[in-house]
A and B are shown apart, each in its own frame.
Chain A
Amino acid sequence: MTADPKGVLTGIHFLDGDHAACEGALAAGCRFVAGYPITPSTEVVERFAQRIPLVGGLFIQMEDELAASIAILGGAWGGKKVMTVTSGPGLSLMMEHLGLAYITETPCVFIDVQRGGPSTGLPTLPAQADMMQVKWGSHGDYEIIALSPNSPQECFDLTIRAFNLTEQWRVPVFLMMDEVVGHMTERVVIPEASAIEITERRWTAKAPGTYRPYDVGADRVPEMTKAGDGHRIHVTGLTHDERGWPCMTPKQQDKLIRRLSGKIRDNADALTDIREEGCEDADVVVVSYGITSRVASAAVLRARAAGLKVGHARLVVTWPFPAARIAALASKCKAMVVPELNLGQMVHEVRLAVNGRIPVLLVDHAGGTVHDPQVILDRIQEAAR
């Protein structure tokens, strides 16, 4: 299926990442957003509130992020494609509903425009320090898909992909932006609606009485319905059976939790999206994501100019972590360098994948700005020795 032209602002624009992400959501068919203002993500919902009346859909500013993050789940079960947007403290408040979205397999997109933390931290300045929180911050075992754009164009493109993935897998999908990507303005090309592929919800064709909300086939993803279609579904955050009814036994827990995580973990390879460049014969591979990948590119260019054999692997999909591909890269190079705007988060995943075979050097940063490319270059040189 292709996009509904009503939501698609075809043309060449000069937009910041927040605005571009909003256009991505509209193009993807998102027609219900609930949010709560927080810097540096607010522009996303401001633009949505401005655009949606004539596109045909709805925005509501809720009383807090707890409300926003569950209102969208109600919105999804009412039949719409939904999204909420936040940063820092708001993300912390949304954690409980991330879990509810996951266990109820409610398609939904969360945009997190990362800022410096903890707590109120640096409201107007960047960080990449929520990478672990989105994966581990809600209680219990769960999986997500997370995408890390590094430009306004990617904020547009990857928001569409986020909507498609959440419909395909029925798992919460995060767009992990940061303050720099959110506020930087660049050219954004929005294609014709007919050139934008859209994944529709997996609506059930089964008749009431025969449909069970959590029956699955080979891909372990159930078909969906919405309230009002006569199926009289029950949706609960309790551990449930195929009918959706509470069933709180260790056996059912095992069955449900393994199915939910399996549908993502076992497809991690299919979900992997790494932009590799010069990795084939590299001595050192820089592994980066989000805004830091652009700074790393500058460092990689300088390293090559200095005669070093350096490759660059940029993770577009950060969760599920592409462990297999990182392990494969590690088998060909001598060291890896991981720059990130935190004191070490995704580097742990890289190290797990590398499993001690080669050194993995972190280039950390407490946030507030991006790295100085020279600092990354120094680490590359150290790794090359």
Chain B
Amino acid sequence: MSEAIQDDQDLSGMPMMDNPVMPYLRQERIPHIWCPGCGIGTTVNCFTRAIEEAASDLDKLAIVSGIGCTGRVAGYLNLDSFHTTHGRAIPFATGLKLSNPELSVVVYSGDGDLFAIGGNHFMHAARRNMDLLVVCVNNFTYGMTGGQVAPTTPIGATQTTMPYGNFENPASLPFLADAAGATFVARWTVYHVRQLTRCFKEALGKKGFRFIEILAPCPTLFLRRNRLGDGVDMVRTYKEKSVLRNGADTKEVGLGLTGEIVVGTFVDRERPTWLESMNDHFGKVFGDRYSRYGG
């Protein structure tokens, strides 16, 4: 699979026209580009269900993606949507949110996008407690460019740029998010559609820098190359290997090629957002002369 991925890809396993989530999608843009058995579509289904159940004001909900297979999510959702550059969805979203604070801004992107090329932005947006919901579809690989090693690739997995198996230590995304200061950190897999939907809904109702990691199969590049079966096999693996541990210490939720997958909500805390801090601070410094930015 390459960036030349075509728009007339097979549709199996993906949202159908009679699907209740269709009003939330740009129907004229379907068929989408994702491969059969790809997990990204499932996460989008959950997301649209969540915004339906949360009765979000869709005119005030904006979505920002980087580049990658997951990066295409923005283009399919019938929201104000921005498909930016590789790794920079978070700083774009930062500008969008700060410029128009009445928006609820969701960043939706891949693990390579958010944590390799975009890792620095992730860390700083979390540190600042920028009011964003960041959703990472973690398929352990670079899908769009054809299956190269990602910062999440487990040790031992084979990738085109780790042809003899990966020997690099992968990052544990919830641990990073927690350490950087995120106010909400959760992990689910595409097996957990109900829990994930609920999680989206809950996170949309909160403020601050919120992070959801979703494990999703990339059958085309990750599973096949590592003889892990197809998408359905992987969803079965998620079901068998997952252990629910809400409030788990994020130091202990790292992932391997096999082994248990800790899921749940790990962090849920409150901190003033960047904008609240700025407004409160300037209110103190300037007194009556200061009008709160963004009301």
Interface residues in chain A, defined as those with a beta carbon under 8 Å from any beta carbon in chain B: 32, 34, 53-54, 56-58, 60, 62-64, 66-68, 70-80, 82, 96-97, 100, 226-238, 245-246, 248
Q: Taking each of B81, B87, B102, which has the highest tally of chain A beta carbons within 10 Å of its own beta carbon?
A: B81
Distance, CA A113 to CA B221, complexed state (A): 46
What are 5 contact pairs spanning A and B, CB under 8 A? A63-B91, A70-B95, A72-B95, A74-B97, A100-B84
Known: A73-B92, A74-B97. 14 other contacts (CB 8 A): A60-B98, A62-B124, A64-B120, A67-B124, A70-B91, A70-B92, A73-B84, A74-B82, A75-B99, A78-B98, A79-B100, A100-B85, A236-B74, A237-B67
Query: Is A75 in contact with B75, judged by CB distance below 8 angstroms?
Result: no
Query: Is A74 in contact with B96, judged by CB distance below 8 angstroms?
Result: yes
Give B283 Cβ to nearest chain A Cβ, in Å.
10
Distance, CA A75 to CA B124, complexed state (A): 18
Shortest Cβ distance from A78 into B: residue: B99
Q: Answer whether A54 and B290 are a contact pair too, CB < 8 Å, given A74-B82, A231-B80, A234-B26.
A: yes
Binds A, one of B47-55, B56-64, B159-167, B227-235: B56-64
Query: Is B85 in contact with A70, judged by CB distance below 8 angstroms?
Result: yes
Question: Is the C-beta of B136 less than 8 angstroms from some C-beta in chain A?
Answer: no
Bin chain B's interface residue count. 35 or more
Question: Is the C-beta of B187 less than 8 angstroms from some C-beta in chain A?
Answer: no
Query: Is A246 in contact with B75, judged by CB distance below 8 angstroms?
Result: yes
Residues of B close to A66: CB separation below 8 A: 87-88, 91
- 7 nearest A-B pairs in the assembled complex, by CB-CB distance: A78-B99, A74-B95, A78-B100, A71-B95, A74-B96, A67-B91, A236-B83
8 Å CB contact of B121 from A54, A67, A80, A228: A67
Residues of A close to B67: CB separation below 8 A: 237
Q: Taking each of A74, A79, A234, A246, which has the highest tally of chain B beta carbons within 10 Å of its own beta carbon?
A: A74
Distance, CA A268 to CA B210, complexed state (A): 47
Query: Is B103 in contact with A228, judged by CB distance below 8 angstroms?
Result: yes
Query: Is A228 in contact with B291, judged by CB distance below 8 angstroms?
Result: no
Residues facing A in B221-269 (CB within 8 A) are none
Residues of A close to B293: CB separation below 8 A: 56-58
Query: Is A237 in contact with B94, judged by CB distance below 8 angstroms?
Result: no
Residues facing A in B115-134 (CB within 8 A) are 120-121, 123-124
Distance, CA A377 to CA B159, complexed state (A): 63
Shortest Cβ distance from B99 into A: residue: A78
Shortest Cβ distance from A235 into B: residue: B82
Distance, CA A337 to CA B127, complexed state (A): 54
Question: Is the C-beta of B282 less than 8 angstroms from some C-beta in chain A?
Answer: yes
Query: Is A96 in contact with B100, judged by CB distance below 8 angstroms?
Result: no
Residues of B close to A230: CB separation below 8 A: 59
Query: Is B83 in contact with A227, judged by CB distance below 8 angstroms?
Result: no
Distance, CA A62 to CA B87, complexed state (A): 15
Give A343 Cβ to nearest chain B Cβ, in Å.
31
Residues of A close to B43: CB separation below 8 A: none
Query: Is B95 in contact with A228, judged by CB distance below 8 angstroms?
Result: no
Question: Is the C-beta of B78 less than 8 angstroms from some C-beta in chain A?
Answer: yes
Query: Is B103 in contact with A78, judged by CB distance below 8 angstroms?
Result: yes
Distance, CA A11 to CA B102, complexed state (A): 36
Query: Is A74 in contact with B81, judged by CB distance below 8 angstroms?
Result: no
Residues of A close to B26: CB separation below 8 A: 234, 245
Question: Is the C-beta of B93 less than 8 angstroms from some C-beta in chain A?
Answer: yes
Query: Is A71 in contact with B102, judged by CB distance below 8 angstroms?
Result: no
Residues of B close to A70: CB separation below 8 A: 84-85, 88, 91-92, 95
Query: Is A245 in contact with B75, judged by CB distance below 8 angstroms?
Result: yes
Query: Is A74 in contact with B78, judged by CB distance below 8 angstroms?
Result: no
Q: Answer whether A228 and B62 are a contact pair too, CB < 8 Å, given A32-B95, A74-B99.
A: yes
Query: Is B80 in contact with A79, judged by CB distance below 8 angstroms?
Result: no
Distance, CA A238 to CA B86, complexed state (A): 12
Distance, CA A282 to CA B235, complexed state (A): 80
Distance, CA A64 to CA B122, complexed state (A): 12
Query: Is B84 in contact with A75, judged by CB distance below 8 angstroms?
Result: no
Shortest Cβ distance from B95 into A: residue: A74
Query: Is B97 in contact with A228, judged by CB distance below 8 angstroms?
Result: no
Shortest Cβ distance from B89 into A: residue: A70
Distance, CA A32 to CA B58, complexed state (A): 25
Distance, CA A233 to CA B74, complexed state (A): 10
Shortest Cβ distance from A80 into B: residue: B99
Residues of A close to B290: CB separation below 8 A: 53-54
Residues of B close to A233: CB separation below 8 A: 80-81
Distance, CA A139 to CA B58, complexed state (A): 35
Query: Is B92 in contact with A74, judged by CB distance below 8 angstroms?
Result: yes
8 Å CB contact of A32 from B85, B99, B123, B285: B99
Query: Is A74 in contact with B91, judged by CB distance below 8 angstroms?
Result: yes
Give B292 Cβ to nearest chain A Cβ, in Å.
10
Q: Taking each of B74, B94, B291, which has the highest tally of chain A beta carbons within 10 Å of its own beta carbon?
A: B94
Distance, CA A70 to CA B88, complexed state (A): 7
8 Å CB contact of A54 from B84, B93, B286: B286
Distance, CA A32 to CA B285, complexed state (A): 20
Give A23 Cβ to nearest chain B Cβ, in Å.
19
Query: Is A67 in contact with B88, judged by CB distance below 8 angstroms?
Result: yes
Distance, CA A57 to CA B282, complexed state (A): 12
Question: Is the C-beta of B22 less than 8 angstroms from some C-beta in chain A?
Answer: no
Residues of A close to B81: CB separation below 8 A: 232-235
Distance, CA A375 to CA B67, complexed state (A): 51
Give A251 Cβ to nearest chain B Cβ, in Å.
14
Shortest Cβ distance from A53 into B: residue: B282
Give A140 Cβ to nearest chain B Cβ, in Å.
13
Query: Is A74 in contact with B94, judged by CB distance below 8 angstroms?
Result: yes
Shortest Cβ distance from B278 into A: residue: A58
Distance, CA A238 to CA B3, complexed state (A): 11
Question: Is the C-beta of B194 less than 8 angstroms from some C-beta in chain A?
Answer: no
